[in-house]
Amino acid sequence: MRVRALLGAAGLIAALGAGGCGGSSSPDKTTPVSTTAAAAQPAPAPEPEPGKPPRTPEELRAAKAVRAIYRALIDGDGRAFCRRMTPEGATLVATVNTGPAAKGDPAKKTCASNLRVFRRGYDKRTLRAASKLKVTLVEIDGKNATVTFTFPTAQTGTVTLVRSGGGWKLPGLTITMPSL
């Protein structure tokens, strides 16, 4: 990534600068290196390492959004879940054919009612495992965030969020559930 490349270049400049300092009896073998350009620019924020929790405020907000999405699904709170979706995503979930488990007039289906039907497809053990997800990495690229997490089963999952309405939202029903 670009941040790693910049950090690598700064490290190389520092190493070259350190190699030319002290103890050399032959001045013609040292290479002068200017670090003023690198020193004048603020250091970029370190990129989170794989397996490290989110650190920046935006990463923390994206991680919190994923936890809230899963909490709403686990609790069967369709309204809370759908509030965490983009308007387009909520419309998509409202129009999904949920099969024979869906009761009532299809024209009256909402995001929340379809989410409750979707949730019924998971047993309590799966929902319990999903409730213990641990966010391990958040990558933000403009208005998109990719949140990676693990379940207690050691299975990893990834959710893509988009910035919408001042927060991180799920653009569709693309979530990972643990396999037991």
pLDDT at residue 100 in the model: 53
List CB contacts of 52: < 8 A, sequence separation 6 or more.
Answer: 136, 137
Query: How confident is the model over 165-180, as a mean pLDDT?
Result: 86
How far is residue 124's CA from residue 167's CA, in Å, rounded to a whole number? 30
Q: What is the pLDDT of residues 61-79, one digit of tens each?
A: 999 999 999 999 999 999 9
Q: Token pair of 76, please?
A: 């069967």
Q: What is the pLDDT of residues 119-138, one digit of tens each?
A: 888 889 999 999 999 999 99
* Sheet of strand 167-169, all strands in order from the earlier edge strand to the far edge: 134-141, 144-150, 156-164, 167-169
How far is residue 5's CA from residue 70's CA, in Å, rounded to a whole number? 35
Angle between helices 57-75 and 111-119 (to 10 degrees): 70
Q: What is the pLDDT of residues 18-27, one digit of tens each?
A: 333 444 444 4
Query: 58 pLDDT exceeds 80?
Result: yes
Helix (H) or strand (E) holding 137: strand 134-141
Candidates 111, 177, 112, 174; CA nearest to 144 is 174
Task: Kindly indicate the confidence band of residue 31, based on its pLDDT and cuts at 50, 70 and 90.
Answer: very low
Topology (CATH level 3) of domain 57-169: Nuclear Transport Factor 2; Chain: A, (3.10.450)
- Decide: pTM greater than 0.85: no
Q: Which residue intervals of the chain bear CATH 3.10.450? A: 57-169
